Amino acid sequence: MAIDFTLTDTQREIQASANAFAARYLTPIADQVARIADPWEAFLSTREAYREMARAGFTRSYIPERHGGLGFSMIDLALASEELARVDTNVPSTLLGSGLGLQPIIQFGTQEQQSRFLRDFVDDEEGELLASFAFTDVAGGANYDSNLPPAGIQTVARQEGDEWVINGQKHYTTNGTGWHKKGAHLYTVVCRTDRSKGADESLAVIAVPGNSPGIEVVAVYDKMGHRGVVTPAVNFTDVRVPVDDMIGQPGDGKQIISRSFSWTAALIGGACVGVMRAAFEHALEFAQREKRLGAVPVIEHQNVGFMLADIKMQIEAARYLTWKACHDMDLTGCRAEELAIMTKVYCSELTVKAVYEAMQVVGVESYIKDSPLGHLMREAMVFPLYDGGNRGIRRRQLHDLMRKPGYDSMLAAQCRLPPGA
């Protein structure tokens, strides 16, 4: 069977629906979010758009059909992500944050856990509920998987009878406030069960209902971009949950974290393409319209044309890398992680480059804070830094894969899994 990049009728419908949704509900808020000084108010300004996203079914799109969701494929989600992020990165990022918070349960939870924790999100037709992946400790996140007992994650869950008692401080906990600053509806908390043991034995993920006593939102960070995405600091102090709320077993945390982050890694590629598209379209329109004291529009100048050609090639390369990564994740149940990680690194760094090149086409006026490209640059700059930083985590993941005995450089190209995956 030949390789086929043709979208199905259903995928074209998803693409068109996401495009129409973005035009109707995201366009009106895209500019205003960046101008709201208070980070909490900026987040709240996206509330109605997120409500409409829930009504349209987007918040159920990544939940499997067997649990009442829409069961979109990874490629379906990437297509929607591109169309949404082309207009606004905030509301789609909140959606992605909830998806990440639920991935440990979707991919690794027992049938009972999946039924118990996912049902609320399936039934949430107004977008009232947010999930949050509580990963990064205040002390850092890049060394989360250290096998040296004093190092690594410092959030600890100790077992007392039939309960886990969780203590730790997390930050950059996307969606961790919920909509009312009282906490997310559900957290999946990365922790260790024993400080005297390394990650291979003790790293774990526990599902924690947001109404559990001892959870406190202590700060809402004020960011350069993604101002409509809330990334608070959240403290867990003697938070008690049943032993059965652990996803998997102590020591399973490394695999759960890696696979959950690979889900977002592939989809961030779609968001990056959307931002690059927005930058390219703005620069192209400028070049077709403006003469800049010359006799012809600046697109007639070879230098401008070459810069636009470079940006367009970058967009196409990033899009098809994203599609390939998502295709492989679909075929392997999210186990084909190498290409997903590459997608996050390559597309995120390419986006910063492409937006900057679009700024060079437009010139210094693109550096004005409220200019479209100035806004897009602030949105783009976080892509290499968040969701597992490209230096601290993502490249190290690739390095670790390559260090394994028998590493085959053609696995990703051929959608084959390494032994034991």
Query: What are the tens digits of pLDDT across the range 287-333?
Result: 999 888 888 999 999 999 999 999 999 999 999 999 999 999 999 99
Whole-angstrom Cα distance, residue 103 to residue 97?
10
Query: What is the model's pLDDT at position 140?
Result: 87
Helices of type H across 192-301: 199-202, 253-289
In degrees, rounded to 5, the angle at the alpha carbon of residue 7 between the alpha carbons of residues 307 and 70 is 115
For residue 307, which amino acid is it? M
Q: Select from 228, 268, 324 the least CA-distant residue to 85.
A: 268
The better pLDDT of the pair 26, 290 is held by 26
Nearest CA among 1, 2, 5 for reference residue 326: 5
Q: Tell me which H or E stretch contains 160.
A: strand 156-160
Query: What span, in angstroms and rounded, lies between the C-alpha atoms of 346 and 348?
Result: 6
Using CB atoms within 10 Å of the CB of residue 365, give its burial: 0 to 12 exposed, 13 to 18 middle, 19+ buried: exposed
Locate the domains of the chain by residue range: 9-123, 131-248, 254-403
Superfamily name with CATH number, domain 254-403: Butyryl-CoA Dehydrogenase, subunit A, domain 3 (1.20.140.10)
CA dihedral (335, 339, 342, 343) in degrees, to 10, reads: -100
- pLDDT value, residue 2: 62
Residue 14: strand, helix, or coil? helix
What is the number of other CB atoms lying within 10 angstroms of the CB of residue 377? 22
- What pLDDT, on a 0 to 100 scale, did the predictor assign at position 169? 97
> 235-257: per-residue pLDDT in tens?
999 999 999 999 999 999 999 99
For residue 420, the one-letter residue type is G
Among the listed residues 200, 387, 400, 408, the single catalytic one is 387
User: Do the Cβ atoms of 147 and 98 come closer than 8 Å?
Assistant: no
State the pairing for strand pair 131-134/186-192.
Answer: parallel
CA–CA distance, 299 with 287 (Å, rounded to integer): 5
Asked if 131-248 and 254-403 have one fold, the answer is no
State the pLDDT at residue 226: 95
Helix pair 337-362, 302-332: axis angle to 10 deg:
160
CA distance 99 to 103: 6
The rounded distance, in Å, linking the Cα atoms of 342 and 325 is 9
Q: Is residue 421 over pLDDT 80?
A: no
* The pLDDT of residue 1 is above 70: no
What is the per-residue pLDDT across 31-90, written as a single tens digit (0 to 9) for each?
A: 889 889 999 999 999 999 999 999 999 999 999 999 999 999 999 999 999 999 999 999
pLDDT of residue 34: 87
Count CB-CB contacts under 10 A for residue 237: 13
The DSSP H or E segment spanning 314 is helix 302-332
Judge whether 387 counts as a catalytic residue. Answer: yes
CATH architecture, range 131-248: Beta Barrel (2.40)
Q: How far apart are CA 183 and CA 210, in angstroms?
A: 5
For the chain, give the percent of residues with pLDDT over 90. Answer: 89
Query: Pseudo-torsion of CA 143, 191, 269, 338, nearest 10°?
Result: 60
Q: Are 63 and 121 in contact (CB under 8 A)?
A: yes
Alpha carbons 42 and 379: distance in angstroms, whole number: 14
pTM: 0.95
Q: Which CATH number fits domain 9-123: 3.10.20.30, 3.40.50.150, 1.10.150.110, 1.10.540.10?
A: 1.10.540.10
Residue 406: per-residue pLDDT: 86
Range in 17-21, 146-150, 229-233 the model is least confident about:
146-150
Question: Over the Cα atoms of the chain, what is R_g?
Answer: 22
What's the pLDDT score for residue 167?
98
Dist. CA 359–CA 367, nearest whole Å: 8
Given this model, what pLDDT does residue 4 score?
83
